[in-house]
Structure 1
């Protein structure tokens, strides 16, 4: 060999093996090899969330490129199953960004690169359709096409690059990572997470560890959010000064009301019994456009309610009604049905002065104030 070529051989190579080492290096420059295919398999698994054998078996006939998406046919030999899955992609005409605004793996771009790199080798040896994972194997002095070598493991690929992972280095753990991402995205709904196999398989192989923590955390968060919304999204309580300032400029916008609604609020046109209502036809307890079906029994738990000083006599009567209900119902049932209403009405009454409460009691005694409750409010029993 000429000295210029011998210099290309790896250091320490024996002279008799230098020619084969140089040719093998040149072949690796022209075509993909095991190390390259291992890296592309990792990228495609991370981009699609599919199993290693599903990704490695793909050919150009399994891939259909669209203007903004790519559809891939995956085959799972063990389950004898075939599934089509679409992934968004910017398309070949879009500029390729080396540094995108946010990290993402483009399954379509990965497939395009693999087909582009493997097509010359496949055409040279008449292989059709072009496999995505094709390499040039060197059997001196012959170069032959081959698939990804099973002896080239994920653990070996990590060692070559000086990388380490916690636990056993198994490429199938990438699949489990994608399942965790699905568990987070779908809030733990097993029917959505197990979209490429059975729910039983998901429970047996994936529904533990991080996935269970995500499901449990989602359930706890949903419960906490529900009760926090009930506790926080209650009525707006206005004092004397606040009621007098309703007519001032900017008050309507601060309360999220229109000028017309403020006028109706001040004149009592929106009075629902124990409070006034922002919009009786937009109740969170009924359909849109339907007159609130639960007023006035649930007004003290409603975000649409505005409690004015003039509502104090009705609030006192409603508090008395809840006291009577508490005697008829079990503590557990009363707390579940009326606990939040009682807390809200008690705190609203506490905000009034003793003189205001005494004046309201006199109005009730003189028959100037009454509380109109539906019949169902008087026939509630402990089941």
Structure 2
């Protein structure tokens, strides 16, 4: 079962898709009967029946349930869920946020799906539209090139410096020994740096209390000697701190473009090493579930360096933490059985981290650091390098959201480039949709008369038409209306297109005298098909071969084609090919 109700004390236990468990405590609410009913609906919201597929989502829904019970009780409602009426819910929803309204609606629907006890009018109300609308958000803007370079440079320096300091502390530990039994001397260094490093390497990231217990000292003694200060410094050198772990996470996002929740929840079981320099990474995206990506080389190298850097701390981790990827020392004052745990940035930590380390925006203000904005910048940089990606960058997005977040999130120059690409693509689609001009001897007079109107935008006088019909403008595949007006080159420059591209060109005019060359192209396509993978052939030659076979050659009579076929030798010498375009000899 993905979720279950625990009755004593009242709670909802979730088993999430990634295998983790989380329990939402519901005991102690002012209306226990209503809380118990809503708990039944809460567990129905768990994946795969509902939207709860991550711990954070489960926590939000549990908070909504508690607020629902407290608000309704404060408003005078003391009954069960079956006693709820429209007036109770309308008043409650008008006071709550859009998110809490939607989540409470889901909980009530889950309760009704199991028990069928809701009032009919309440059931109709749940089927209606929400009273509150979602607050419209502004898509993240990509970081500028200067801001992006600053962020990567600083994170790389943090990573490099952390490894250097750890190697230095490990060298100290090699020359140290166990300082147990050393008599403390106040205000002096009672334990040497090498001995402290040795002790931490052997026993893990000890705090002052554990160190005092090992040495046989009082904790106050450690605090009053320089041993306490040195302990903090050496421990931060040997083991990852929260700041250093966060720098690794940011840099990993800059290198890979993985969503922030996917990076934060990574564990060792999701890393599949395919050789020394290749990694297939499996992670869980909060909204869509499990996903996978083949990591870029920089991300692979960073992952190797992090695993090497955190190996010492991982050796002291228990079974519950051993597979966690991002381990870091806990904050001072956090009392726990272990002095380290999984690094999960709290709300506001990224902005605090950027401010503390002096990262600045182009305007001179503190850099607004958001991990989702890193992903937006990564995708923006890929698009500027010519990457087109999938039809949808994120299959969980609608086309409107995709456009808002990835097309509009650009500079003026990028927006102009996007509009140019769209315009050219639409023109290309229209051009390819135009039927070819195929002329037989019987149709010559009729076609010549209609030619100036048929070829839009070109001024053809009588002399030009005579040259077309007489063969003076012939190229290999067809007669070209104007080689200096090619859609494949700037106006005024000769057309650079390959022979088969003429088959899709709106300036090409196919006549009976071109039949032999058209058949030579058909034979060339057949030879290419024999030596290329089918998918590759379709991408490169597919549209041209289809037009030749279905729209051009069938327009000529069998007599013309038979006579032309007598002059086709079926080898590459018949075509103007480049060396890389040649085919294997026909056996």
Could you tell me the TM-score, scaled by structure 2's length? 0.34
Could you tell me the TM-score, scaled by structure 1's length? 0.49
Q: Which has the higher contact order (CA 8 A, sep 6+)?
A: 1
